[in-house]
Structure 1
Amino acid sequence: MSAHTRPIRRTLMTVILLTCGAVMLITSAAFFAYEYLTFRQLTLRNLEILGKAIAANSTAALAFDNPGDAREVLSALKAQPHVVAARLYLNDGRLMASYPDAAAHATAPSAPGNDGYRFEFGLLRGVQPVVQDGRRMGTLYLESDLGEIYEHFQFFLGIGALFTLACFAAAYLLSGRLQGVISKPILALAATARQVSERRDYSVRATRTQGQEFSQLTDAFNHMLTRIEGDQTRLQSQLSRLALLHRITHATGARHDLPSLFRVVLHNLEEDLPVDFACMCVCEASADALSIAVIGPKSAQCASALRLAENDLVPVDQNALARCLGGELVYEPDTREIRFPFPQRFSEAGLRSLVVAPLLVEKRVFGVLVAARRASESFSSPECEFLRQLSEHVALAAHQAQLYGALQRAYDDLRQSQQAMMQQERLRALGEMASGIAHDINNAISPIALYTESLLEREPGLSEQAREYLGTIRTAIEDVAETVARMREFYRPREAELVLSRVECNRLIDQVVNLTRARWSDQAQQRGVFIQLKTELAESLPDIMGSEVEIRDALTNLIFNAVDAMPAGGTLTLRTRLVSSGADITRQVQVEVADTGIGMD
């Protein structure tokens, strides 16, 4: 099992056992070194004492030069099995006696060497002078093996091994129990972390354990969970506000009038933010007051307490509303501390927190969003930021609704103009048809009327019945003539008295161009024909006196005729100019309609 997957219990036990083993090994090595050095010195001292005793007993044998006594003295070394050799030398260097006898000539050195005891060549060697009454009589040479040291340390190693095993066994048993002091808090933290990870429940907390370090670790872990829980809560709040902003944006996209757009925004705001009071105000023509456009559906009770109703005017004070109209979001955490009339209304109605957000489009504030809650300091910074973003979206949607309304009105006006032009075109066609019919009828009834009048005036011999028939014919002819006259009046109605007024020719030509655009541009392009319109209008033309309607109708008919004269396309030119003529330098305004089509020049 690798170190990455080994359980913490086993890891702790391994660490404890290795630590104990290292300590035991270092201690044993130090103790062994100390024992080895001290025991070597003890062995050397014991051999020195033995040498001094043998030397003291050898003085008589040396004094009388008695080898037998000397050998008897050396034979006492049999009691020391580790003494492997002994030799007794005279002052002149002659070997007097040795122990054991077999070593008399085999390993006997020619000279005993310097006095003293030392370890050499795996042996302990000693040279002890034999002295009597201050006079040196000879030299004792001793050799001892290191068997006593080896036996001592073999025993010592056996005892140490048994002691080490006993210590390891005790350490193993103790580590099995003591590792729980460390592993249990860590495993408890791991279990808590696993529970948090699996359930995604950041409200879980680890149990505080004994021990300063573990308490600090647990506290730090719980503090981390608290921070994560707070961040998670804030993240969820931000996601919910983003979802609310998305819903409001989606809902306002389907509204094209300000009241319904404002109601959708306030309804979602009251339901999901939520707030206790919300309303939309728009700027009046005067910058000194705001008009309450819409109040939220759930804010009616608070509105009555505030003495506010839709279409009421609210004066702009010099604090919240004035700053908001300057493009600043205003947050009043406690309206009781504000001494201006508008916040004081909310304070008296029990609404302590107030936010006023500007509806800003193209650096122009056209209204404000007002939101309030009963508790003081109840709007957080993220909520204020959300209201600021919401006001921007609402302002943009309101601006688009206004543009849509203006576009719709322009489209309606254009459609009415086109319908009026089509109606005029139909009337013109009907008039042309009526004119032709009237001409044909007049041509048909003229001989009848002539001959009828001639018969009635010049034929005296007609019977009464014939005259009656001719009178009936004349009456019918007069009725037909009246009908034809009425048809002409239907085509070209005239006022009883023509009223003249000032007419600006250039402006009138622009109107005619717009009124006839469908004929010379749209309808022509549908047929695959392109007609280019050119206007050459003189500047600073004086106004003329005339009937603007009649002039416009005349120019319209001229343009229609020009379009009809260019079935394959061409250039239509409208031109105005100021000319002077006559001795009295009379100034005249000339209006020309020219085309490049077929027909007269």
Structure 2
Amino acid sequence: MRNLRDRPVGQKITFVIMLISGVVLLLAFAALFCFQAYTLKQHSAHELAVVGEITAHNCAAAVMFKDEGAAAQILTGLKTMPQIVSARLEVMDQQRLAYFGGLRDELEIKAARLKSGFRIDGNRILLAQPVMLDGKREGTLYLVADLHAMTSQLLKLYGGIFALVLAASLLLAFLLSSQFLRFVTNPILSLAGIARTIAHDHDYSVRATKVCGDEVGGLTDAFNQMLTQIQSQDSALQTARHKLQEQVIALQREIGERKRAEAAQARLAAILEATPDIVMSANPSGIPFYLNRAGHEILGVAQDRDIAGMKTLYLHPEWAREIFAKDGLQEAIRHGSWAGETTILARNGKEIPVSQVLIAHKSTEGEVEYFSTVLRDMTEYREAEEALRLSQRKLLETSRLAGMAEVATGVLHNVGNVLNSVNVSAG
């Protein structure tokens, strides 16, 4: 059965047609054989009854005189009929007058206790025929017929005819199905071929040709509709795939740019953390949210302390706060940045001169989002500047005393160059 399932549809249909033809012929011949066998038994029973009636009439005198020899001679004449296998003649007291046949047959006659008529049991017929004399029953004639040989001959005859008819019918069914089956199988095979082509080439624009209006035609229409839907979905899928690829490329580009920005931000953060200048960021209210390492050290703020409690104005001494608020902060808000010199308070309360740059970062609408500031300690510069000034006064005094104005002028020129260099480095 598994092999039949894997066979082509044409072979399956041919096999089914031949199988049905064979089964129908078998049933027809079986019914005909049963009818013939029944008819044979009825006809044989009728013949046996006629023979029994004639034989019983002939045995009437032998029964009346209880002549066993005459009775045996009459029964012996029944042996010429091959279907009669046993005969028994008995008088009214069930005394056997004559008999031929086997022990089995005699036991069957005694067990049946049939008074009159016949009984059919399979292929055997038992007849009980009364022996009448002057209208009075004087005995009974029993005949046993076996139809096994006749039934076997009938079975062989029907078997041979059935074999010939079956072979001819199957051959004719095969030839006719081979010719007419293409009207059923060709549309299906064409549909299967198109399905294989589509599966191999992935070309959903192919359509099957409708050749009939039956269920196969309906299947063809449904198949074409399915292909239309698949083609539409495939087109949408291809479009979505292209968009997804573009989005993936854009996302990869964005990720790359973000990584580069993060790397640049990390480098900038490293620079801000490594610089000795104070770098701070604060919201428009002046509450800081970032302070670099140098700021923590100079201002005396612990690394784990929350700097949100600080206020940028309170970095400056009281005298410098108003100046910074009016000049520096307003200048940065108006123009975006401010640069100048001011003073902050160190952790020990000492005032530190600084060079400060304040930048106001604004949104596209012009609103300040946050401030950032850089403060550079100018203490060493101021000390160097003061030392240079003292040296300048000493040189001028010395040149005046010694009368070396020209020398002093040259030295002062060199000192001025040094101061300019210091100013440039401090800016």
Q: CA deviation at 1:53?
A: 3.1
Q: CA deviation at 1:229?
A: 0.9
Matched ranges for 1:480-491 at <5 A: none
TM-aligned CA distance change 1:190 to 1:428, over 3 Å: farther
Secondary structure, aligned partner of 1:210:
coil
Worse-superposed segment, 89-98 or 126-135: 89-98
8 Å CA contact 1:62–1:70 kept in 2: the answer is yes
Matched ranges for 1:46-85 at <5 A: 46-59=47-60, 74=75, 77=78, 80-85=81-86
TM-aligned CA distance change 1:160 to 1:445, over 3 Å: same
Q: CA deviation at 1:250?
A: 6.9
Matched ranges for 1:495-510 at <5 A: none
- Please point out which of 150, 166, 169 is paired with 1:167: 169
2:289 — aligned with what?
none
AA paired with 1:443?
A: T
What are structure 2's unaligned runs of at least 5 residues? 259-362
8 Å CA contact 1:88–1:98 kept in 2: the answer is yes
Separation in structure 2 between the aligned mates of residue 150 and residue 173 of structure 1, nearest angstrom: 34
1:224 — aligned with what?
226
Q: CA deviation at 1:190?
A: 1.9
TM-aligned CA distance change 1:134 to 1:254, over 3 Å: closer
Separation in structure 2 between the aligned mates of residue 164 and residue 104 of structure 1, nearest angstrom: 42
Q: CA deviation at 1:203?
A: 0.9
- Please point out which of 186, 189, 192 is paired with 2:191: 189
Given the alignment of the two structures, is residue 150 of structure 1 paired with residue 105 of structure 2, yes or no? no
2:284 — aligned with what?
none
State the Cα deviation string for residues 404-452 of structure 1 (Å, max 9, x = none): xx9xx999x96xx98xx99x99899678547634531441123439xxx
Matched ranges for 1:74-153 at <5 A: 74=75, 77=78, 80-93=81-94, 113-115=113-115, 116-119=117-120, 123-132=124-133, 134-146=135-147, 147-153=149-155
- Please point out which of 423, 427, 446 is paired with 2:401: 446
State the Cα deviation string for residues 25-76 of structure 1 (Å, max 9, x = none): 4444444444434432332232123212333454466567777876676566
Separation in structure 1 between the aligned mates of residue 409 and residue 176 of structure 2, nearest angstrom: 137
Q: CA deviation at 1:14?
A: 2.8
Secondary structure, aligned partner of 2:118:
strand
Secondary structure, aligned partner of 1:117:
strand
8 Å CA contact 2:395–2:408 kept in 1: the answer is no
1:276 — aligned with what?
none
2:9 — aligned with what?
8
Q: TM-score w.r.t. structure 2 length?
A: 0.55
2:391 — aligned with what?
436
1:291 — aligned with what?
none
TM-aligned CA distance change 1:145 to 1:255, over 3 Å: closer
Given the alignment of the two structures, is residue 180 of structure 1 paired with residue 172 of structure 2, yes or no? no
8 Å CA contact 1:98–1:104 kept in 2: the answer is no
- Please point out which of 234, 237, 251 is paired with 1:235: 237
Matched ranges for 1:266-277 at <5 A: none
TM-aligned CA distance change 1:10 to 1:486, over 3 Å: closer
- Please point out which of 185, 207, 210 is paired with 1:208: 210
Matched ranges for 1:510-525 at <5 A: none
State the Cα deviation string for residues 288-322 of structure 1 (Å, max 9, x = none): xxxxxxxxxxxxxxxxxxxxxxxxxxxxxxxxxxx
Secondary structure, aligned partner of 1:223:
helix
Q: CA deviation at 1:227?
A: 1.6
Separation in structure 1 between the aligned mates of residue 54 and residue 380 of structure 2, nearest angstrom: 161
Worse-superposed segment, 54-63 or 171-180: 54-63
1:347 — aligned with what?
none
Matched ranges for 1:295-306 at <5 A: none
Q: CA deviation at 1:202?
A: 0.7
State the Cα deviation string for residues 384-412 of structure 1 (Å, max 9, x = none): xxxxxxxxxxxxxxxxxx89xx9xx999x
State the Cα deviation string for residues 474-533 of structure 1 (Å, max 9, x = none): xx77x9779969988x969xxxxxxxxxxxxxxxxxxxxxxxxx99xxxxxxxxxxxxxx
AA paired with 1:44?
A: A
Q: CA deviation at 1:232?
A: 0.7
Secondary structure, aligned partner of 2:403:
helix
Secondary structure, aligned partner of 1:86:
strand
Separation in structure 1 between the aligned mates of residue 102 and residue 403 of structure 2, nearest angstrom: 196
AA paired with 1:166?
A: A
Identify which of structures 1 and 2 has the higher relative contact order when contacts are C-alpha pairs closer than 8 Å and 6+ apart. Answer: 2
Count of paired positions: 310
Separation in structure 1 between the aligned mates of residue 18 and residue 221 of structure 2, nearest angstrom: 31
What are structure 1's unaligned runs of at least 5 residues? 257-401, 450-475, 493-517, 520-555, 557-601
1:537 — aligned with what?
none
Separation in structure 2 between the aligned mates of residue 433 and residue 104 of structure 1, nearest angstrom: 163
Q: CA deviation at 1:128?
A: 0.3
8 Å CA contact 1:70–1:97 kept in 2: the answer is yes
Pairwise CA RMSD: 5.0
8 Å CA contact 1:431–1:491 kept in 2: the answer is no
Separation in structure 1 between the aligned mates of residue 11 and residue 102 of structure 2, nearest angstrom: 67
8 Å CA contact 1:438–1:484 kept in 2: the answer is no
TM-aligned CA distance change 1:23 to 1:198, over 3 Å: same
1:324 — aligned with what?
none
Separation in structure 2 between the aligned mates of residue 104 and residue 178 of structure 1, nearest angstrom: 62
1:295 — aligned with what?
none
Separation in structure 2 between the aligned mates of residue 41 and residue 158 of structure 1, nearest angstrom: 24
TM-aligned CA distance change 1:425 to 1:28, over 3 Å: farther
Separation in structure 1 between the aligned mates of residue 27 and residue 104 of structure 2, nearest angstrom: 45
Separation in structure 2 between the aligned mates of residue 97 and residue 126 of structure 1, nearest angstrom: 16
AA paired with 1:183?
A: T
Secondary structure, aligned partner of 1:138:
strand
Separation in structure 2 between the aligned mates of residue 201 and residue 234 of structure 1, nearest angstrom: 15
State the Cα deviation string for residues 463-484 of structure 1 (Å, max 9, x = none): xxxxxxxxxxxxx77x977996
Separation in structure 2 between the aligned mates of residue 229 and residue 104 of structure 1, nearest angstrom: 88
8 Å CA contact 1:434–1:491 kept in 2: the answer is no
TM-aligned CA distance change 1:431 to 1:24, over 3 Å: farther
TM-aligned CA distance change 1:121 to 1:249, over 3 Å: closer
Separation in structure 2 between the aligned mates of residue 481 and residue 94 of structure 1, nearest angstrom: 186
Separation in structure 2 between the aligned mates of residue 95 and residue 38 of structure 1, nearest angstrom: 33
TM-aligned CA distance change 1:94 to 1:204, over 3 Å: same
8 Å CA contact 1:40–1:149 kept in 2: the answer is no
Q: CA deviation at 1:134?
A: 3.3
AA paired with 1:176?
A: S
Separation in structure 2 between the aligned mates of residue 202 and residue 92 of structure 1, nearest angstrom: 100
Matched ranges for 1:348-367 at <5 A: none
AA paired with 2:191?
A: L
Given the alignment of the two structures, is residue 20 of structure 1 paired with residue 21 of structure 2, yes or no? yes
TM-aligned CA distance change 1:120 to 1:218, over 3 Å: closer
TM-aligned CA distance change 1:483 to 1:158, over 3 Å: closer
Separation in structure 2 between the aligned mates of residue 42 and residue 53 of structure 1, nearest angstrom: 17
AA paired with 1:153?
A: L
